[in-house]
Amino acid sequence: MNVPNALSALRIVLVPAFIAVFLSDGSNAYPLAVLIFLFAGLTDILDGIIARRFHLITRLGRILDPLADKLMILSALVCVSLRELLPWWVAIVYFVKEAVQLILGAVFFKRQKDVPSSNVLGKSATVTFYIAIAVLILFENISYLFKIILFLAALLLALAAFATYYFTAIRIEPSNGGKKQGI
């Protein structure tokens, strides 16, 4: 396992740590949970930089990296919804989008033995979710309208990323060696 993949695996391990700290009754639970959450976000950035710079992009990494992000973000959305800091519909919309994308990704993987690479919209959505969740936890008394605007921006970016991911996947045909077809 190379360094970027190890960092993605570390992010997966940080998910239960975040949940345990966030849901604990400690007086510093939220700030500590945000530290874990932001550390996970930094490892995401670091693993991407290392993978690209040192040509360590692997099929495993293209699966582990987004899986780690999705598990952390979904866990955080469920946690803040449990504590009634955010309406449940945000976590539900995110979950449904990710479930559909997972199913389509599995179909694509079965056909191609690979997954499409992430795109700038997906990376932007991930960063926006990390920022929105950290702001929400640290400033839990911010206005409802501001919360909704933050999370709508993140959801819209995620849905746009999904659309581009989907159209990239359907344009790749197994019979032509995985090359993109013209529209």
Q: Report residue 77: phi and psi, to 5°.
A: -65, -40
Instruction: Band the pLDDT of 132: cuts 50, 70, 90.
Output: very high
Span 87-103, pLDDT tens digits: 999 999 999 999 998 88
Overall average pLDDT of the 26-47 stretch: 96
Domains and CATH numbers, the chain: 3-176 (1.20.120.1760)
State pTM to two decimals.
0.88
Which pLDDT belongs to residue 183?
38
Q: Whole-angstrom Cα distance, residue 171 to residue 162?
A: 14
Span 12-30, pLDDT tens digits: 999 999 999 999 999 999 9
Which pLDDT belongs to residue 103?
86
CA-based nearest residue to 38, from 124, 125, 138? 138
Instruction: Band the pLDDT of 182: cuts 50, 70, 90.
Output: very low
